[in-house]
Chains A and B, each alone.
Chain A
Amino acid sequence: MKIRGVMKLLCCALTIGALAFVVHAAAPKTTKTKTGVEMVLLPGGSFTMGDARGATDEERHRVTVDAFYIDKYEVTQEHYRKLVGSDYSRWKNPKAPTEQVTWAAAVKYCNVRSLADNLTPCYDLKTWKCDFAANGYRLPTEAEWEYAARAGSTTSYSFGDNASALRNFAWMKENSGDRPREVGKKLPNAWGLYDMHGNVAEWCNDLYAVDYYQKSPAKNPRGPASGKQRVVRGGSWNSRAGDCRSAYRAAENPAYADVCIGYYDVYGFRCVRNAASSK
């Protein structure tokens, strides 16, 4: 029995070591913004978006995205408060992700952060339209988010298909203790991004349509032109493992986040920025 235990430990150590090696070896370049946010530069590329074993809205299709920077971590309460002046997260912890945040509040933060870094804001706050040519911060498109989450993987999760290993990479219902946790405390994906699975579900820029994948453009899809809900991705501290899959799609009304009605403490976000901008 003892030998078997030692072998198990050895296997675990080797696995973690191998994972660390893969992460280190493949991790793209990381930069730090003027306001102190670490971002990872992801090279453009093509990938298969969706999951044949997933729900009907996850139809597999090839997508190509341009290079972009993405936050290494979910936006923290500390950074949100620093830029916006207030933070209404339910679970107070400066190092934890900001939550209970609407899509609208998230894009406002993007604009504030763009201005703080002397960049051109992407969002028109009257129309909520995103200028994708602007060089400022914005929410990821759904395709960019999944591309980043997969980090080159084709499996259900960035590390493989084994849901039981998810607890090493994600805060989810099974291990979160019913609350979001400090960012960056689990293993990153192969591109060095933390908490892409779980912790807070992340707002994307796209509107949601169940059949969007059937008609979306192959290059830089940016979501349907109309819709009532915005896409949220990655699952949260309150999600089952299956809802934290790289391809799992969820959607939410972009305007609700009032603490008085609870629940919205599962939503947060991270920002992206074009790698090569025209403006």
Chain B
Amino acid sequence: MRSMPYIAAAILLVPIATVAWADPPSALVHMWDTVTPLRAPIDLTQRQGWRAVEGKSPLQGDLVVEDDSFTVVFASNLGRVLVYAKDGPMCRAEVSPTSLQEEAATLTHVMVSKGEENPLVVHTVFSAKGTSEPVPITFTFGEGGVLGIWPKDDTRSITIFAPVELALVPSFVGDDLIYDPEAYPSAPSLSLVSEHVLLGLLKGGNSELVMSWQDDIPSVRLTTALANPSPTGLSFEGGKGFFLAVLEAPGIWHRGKLTSDYLERDVTLSWKPPFPAIWLTQLYEDEVKTTFEFRHEKEEHWRGGVGFYVFPTWFSGGKTMLTLGKKIPPEGEAVIYCLERGDETPRSVLTPVDVVSRTLTGDVLASILDVEGRPAWYPHRPESVIGGATCGVTDALLKIFRAGQEVEKKYLVEGGVEDMYAYLEGMFERNARFYPFAQDMVLYLDAQEKANPELAPWLRELGATAEEIITTCDNARDTIRDISYAHELGAKTVALTGETRSDNLKRMIELKQDWTGMGGALEELARREHTLTRKLYQQAGYGVGTRPEAMPIAEEIRKRTKQCLEKPESYEIWANY
């Protein structure tokens, strides 16, 4: 199921629909011949006259394929392939060639065979009476409710018509992009960044489409119904194949406005998660949309630059709670969704990450899931004596000084100082990634502005964010100091272990302030740089919505920012810290 499977034998498309079937399909895949072609509106509960497809025989009506996740109808008269969720009466997606959208197309050829890796392959040809050429598209059915859609050559584009309310591009290093057509009311279509995975959150909140693709798709667009007479659809241009899954559950996603009366209260949402999983939303923190995972209880949380606050998203006894205040304000809206399973997610539930894992492979899969870049990193030395950041180490050292044991436990003091050197060196190393990144970004954006003056307003917005990273670094120099200052502090700290003196404790208390001031400043700087880099990552992604010509620039910026965001220091990240 991980690549386009072709059967060894050449497929002969004949002008009548046929089923060429040698072996019985998988027990999980069932095929039906509707005997007479279906007409709109299609009602899948009305199956009188249908017959199970067995052996090799011509189709009399339309082909219907069911597996354990969805039902797919090859509606010949409608010229579309209709995808229904298994238990839902509603068609969730209609697949058709983009080139035949304006014409009365029909499915003129349908042929079934068994693939090397798939239990079932359906070869189709879409035709129209006009001048457009017939379009062959192959559909593959594999394990776990994922439909493969493969146009025959690179010039073909495919549109999935569906009531998409929001389009979501996941990211596991930065924040997900959530495109809302209402934010672009005059745009007939939006360009979306093409990063191998896309979710279409469907109206009603009970369904979503997950699309994934191994090969680069040069253009993905969301056609909106707001400024366009045609229905909402997602277009995949450039003739590459992709996979489609329909995920359904009551409230599988949710959106709600955050109103001012949410301020400083524990607010119970009407929405409840349909199954246990990792549920996410985005809220403004430090004026940047930031991802928050719903926690399993109310907790206090700390973030550099923001301070302490009640973690804003949590579950309590089956209720979904938001606690918003001045630090995480009730602004905008909360879109709640799930990307991946948690420890208690039932095996029967399919999440977007499950779809991605089943359909993508190799470097593309690793890049999407950010296997390497996602884990938080914490600077420490393996042979640490006390361990931890400057706060934890100096707390431990103060206990020694309070007990008057600084001479007796000199080895602990010296070890603790070494631990802090390692921590601070690690933090300097971490912070050193952002400054050159931002400098290079400013140069890159300047060059792009010269080459693309029509994009100047957008590029300047991005440039302002990159400049802010640089300014933030520059302004922090007085507080982060440098590693030689840490060595000065270390020498002063160790010097106190020479003899027990009455003012050692007082001097250690003062040194703790210096140590922790330095460590805290480094953590705060890293968090702020990380936040601004995430902002840049978002600005690049959202900016292409109405600027398709900016896509190559946006892709380059997102590539660079993603590299910079990888392996965050633990204080930078949001949900799992």
Measuring CB to CB, which residues of chain A are less than 8 angstroms from any residue of chain B? 55-57, 86, 88, 90-91, 177-179, 208, 210, 238, 240, 243, 249-253, 256, 258-264
Q: In the complex the two chains form, is A90's CB within 8 Å of B265's CB?
A: no
Instruction: Enumerate 21 A-B pairs (CB-CB under 8 Å) in ascending A order.
Output: A56-B261, A56-B263, A57-B263, A90-B521, A178-B471, A210-B263, A210-B265, A240-B287, A249-B326, A252-B308, A256-B308, A258-B520, A259-B520, A261-B302, A261-B523, A262-B305, A262-B520, A262-B524, A263-B304, A263-B307, A263-B524
Q: In the complex the two chains form, is B326's CB within 8 Å of A251's CB?
A: yes
In the bound complex, what is the Cα–Cα distance between A240 and B326 (angstroms)? 12
**Within 8 Å CB of A57, what residues of B?**
263-264
Q: Among A56, A91, A256, A258, point to the contact of B479 (Cβ < 8 A).
A: A91
**Nearest chain B CB to A237 CB, angstrom units:** 11
In the bound complex, what is the Cα–Cα distance between A176 and B475 (angstroms)? 10
Q: In the complex the two chains form, is B475's CB within 8 Å of A256's CB?
A: no
Q: In the complex the two chains form, is A262's CB within 8 Å of B304's CB?
A: yes
**Nearest chain B CB to A184 CB, angstrom units:** 22
B476 within 8 A of A: yes
Closest to A176 in B: B475
Q: In the complex the two chains form, is B475's CB within 8 Å of A262's CB?
A: no
**Nearest chain B CB to A233 CB, angstrom units:** 12
Measuring CB to CB, which residues of chain B are less than 8 angstroms from any residue of chain A? 260-261, 263-265, 287, 302, 304-308, 325-326, 389-391, 394, 471-472, 475-476, 478-479, 510, 513, 515-517, 519-521, 523-524
Q: Among A243, A250, A258, A262, point to the contact of B521 (Cβ < 8 A).
A: A262
- Given A56-B263, A86-B510, A210-B264, residue A261 in contact with residue B304 (CB < 8 A): yes
**Nearest chain A CB to B312 CB, angstrom units:** 15
**Within 8 Å CB of A259, what residues of B?**
513, 516-517, 520
Q: Among A208, A210, A260, point to the contact of B391 (Cβ < 8 A).
A: A260
Q: Among A86, A90, A250, A260, point to the contact of B389 (Cβ < 8 A).
A: A260
Q: Among A88, A177, A253, A260, point to the contact of B475 (Cβ < 8 A).
A: A177
| Chain A, interface SS category | loop
**Within 8 Å CB of A243, what residues of B?**
326
Q: In the complex the two chains form, is B475's CB within 8 Å of A178's CB?
A: yes
Closest to A179 in B: B475
**Nearest chain B CB to A167 CB, angstrom units:** 17
**Nearest chain A CB to B302 CB, angstrom units:** 6
Q: In the complex the two chains form, is A56's CB within 8 Å of B260's CB?
A: yes
Q: Among A86, A208, A210, A264, point to the contact of B307 (Cβ < 8 A).
A: A264
**Within 8 Å CB of A250, what residues of B?**
326
Q: In the complex the two chains form, is B516's CB within 8 Å of A260's CB?
A: yes
Q: In the complex the two chains form, is A252's CB within 8 Å of B307's CB?
A: yes
In the bound complex, what is the Cα–Cα distance between A178 and B308 (angstroms)? 20
In the bound complex, what is the Cα–Cα distance between A177 and B326 (angstroms)? 23
Interface-centre pick from A91, A177, A178, A179 (highest chain B CB count, 10 A): A178
In the bound complex, what is the Cα–Cα distance between A252 and B308 (angstroms)? 8
Q: In the complex the two chains form, is A261's CB within 8 Å of B326's CB?
A: no
Closest to B259 in A: A56
**Within 8 Å CB of A260, what residues of B?**
389-391, 394, 515-517, 519-520
Instruction: List the 7 closest A-B pairs by CB distance, nearest first.
Output: A260-B516, A260-B391, A178-B475, A262-B524, A210-B264, A262-B520, A263-B307
Q: In the complex the two chains form, is A90's CB within 8 Å of B326's CB?
A: no
Closest to A255 in B: B308
- Given A250-B326, A256-B307, A256-B308, residue A261 in contact with residue B391 (CB < 8 A): yes
Interface-centre pick from A91, A208, A238, A263 (highest chain B CB count, 10 A): A263
Closest to B262 in A: A56
In the bound complex, what is the Cα–Cα distance between A243 and B326 (angstroms)? 9
**Within 8 Å CB of A178, what residues of B?**
471-472, 475-476
In the bound complex, what is the Cα–Cα distance between A85 and B393 (angstroms)? 25
In the bound complex, what is the Cα–Cα distance between A262 and B521 (angstroms)? 6
- Given A179-B475, A251-B326, residue A258 in contact with residue B308 (CB < 8 A): no
**Within 8 Å CB of B389, what residues of A?**
260
In the bound complex, what is the Cα–Cα distance between A86 and B513 (angstroms)? 11
- Given A90-B479, A210-B265, A250-B326, residue A263 in contact with residue B306 (CB < 8 A): yes
Q: A238-B305, A253-B308, A258-B391 are in contact. List 20 more A-B contacts (CB 8 A).
A: A55-B326, A57-B263, A90-B517, A178-B471, A179-B475, A179-B478, A210-B264, A240-B287, A243-B326, A250-B326, A251-B325, A256-B307, A256-B308, A259-B513, A260-B394, A260-B516, A261-B304, A261-B391, A263-B307, A264-B307
Closest to B509 in A: A86
